[in-house]
Amino acid sequence: MTPGNQPPSTPPSFGDFMVFVDESGDHGLDTCDPAYPVFVLAFCIMRKSEYIDVITPAVQRFKFKHFGHDLVVLHEHEIKKAKGEFAFLLVPAKREAFFPELNALMATTPMTLVAVVIRKDKLKEQYHKPGNPYHLALEYGLERVSKWLTSQGQAGKLTPLICESRGRKEDDSLELEFRRVATRVSGFDIHFVDKRANLPGLQIADLVARPIGRHVIDPAQENRAYTILESKFRRSPEGQINGYGLKIFP
């Protein structure tokens, strides 16, 4: 028995899903890139059984085909710039073979997507004391992820929230904010993971964040990556994405 002869509380059961979180853009307000004045936080919700049986094997097959091993970490910035492990993309023939298969991988990855885009330029214009973009995005995102999980019968179950580590100081700050948000949005267990852990889910999250930001900045611009992702967003019963799977603030 616990102190006071009270029976121990029953721990929550593990849920059926996991959530991978990654960002795009600088969350600081001291600087604002005119070409990319947004901060994006993307939440990729994946069913554990599909993560084991479908997503992880598909990512590994893709890596073995294009790199000969599965040690490489897929990173949107390095892919776009053809840097490091992705320097081979400077060769047109290899580039033409790589991107259609990367697009196919993203298109066939089973997941539900929630993303929050903070317009840093408008945030600074409209608020005398604007909140931290990362903290705002975390709160808006968790609210929407929680509602979706509840709709999937996950109320009372524990869902891991897996974020890429950004350094001890920033991780501690984010965890503190997470604990604050968790007083209203419960059911999550936060974990910080180094990118070198090579988790397929985190790499998928990394690949989705920037295309969403580019779409919000210029919806009229051709954006093949966003077009692929559009069907994966959480939607209202009427099929609406804005405000449900995609929150833009302010």
Break the chain into its structural domains and give their ranges.
13-52+111-249
Q: In the numeric block, which tokens belong to residue 105? A: 């991988």
Residue 243: pLDDT over 80: yes
Please tell me the predicted confidence (pLDDT) of residue 218: 97
Q: Is the dihedral of CA 41, 47, 52, 53 positive or negative?
A: negative
Classify domain 13-52+111-249 at the CATH topology level. Nucleotidyltransferase; domain 5 (3.30.420)
Q: What is the rounded CA–CA span in Å between residue 67 and residue 85?
A: 8
Cis peptide before 250 (omega within 30 of 0): yes
% residues pLDDT > 90 (the chain): 79
Q: Is the pTM of this model over 0.75?
A: yes
Residue 3: pLDDT over 70: no
Q: What is the mean pLDDT of the chain?
A: 93
Q: What are phi and psi of 131, to 5 degrees?
A: -75, 165
Distances from the Cα of 82 to the Cα of 69, 124, 152, 202, 226, angstroms = 18, 34, 39, 20, 20
% residues pLDDT > 70 (the chain): 96
Q: If you average pLDDT over residues 16-36, what whole number do you get? A: 92
Q: What is the rounded CA–CA span in Å between residue 195 and residue 132?
A: 23
Which residues are CB-neighbours of 9 under 8 A, at least 6 positions away?
none
Task: Please report which confidence band the pLDDT of residue 28 belongs to, taking 50, 70 and 90 as the band edges.
Answer: confident
Residue pLDDT, tens place only, 51-98: 999 999 999 999 999 999 999 999 999 999 999 999 999 999 999 999
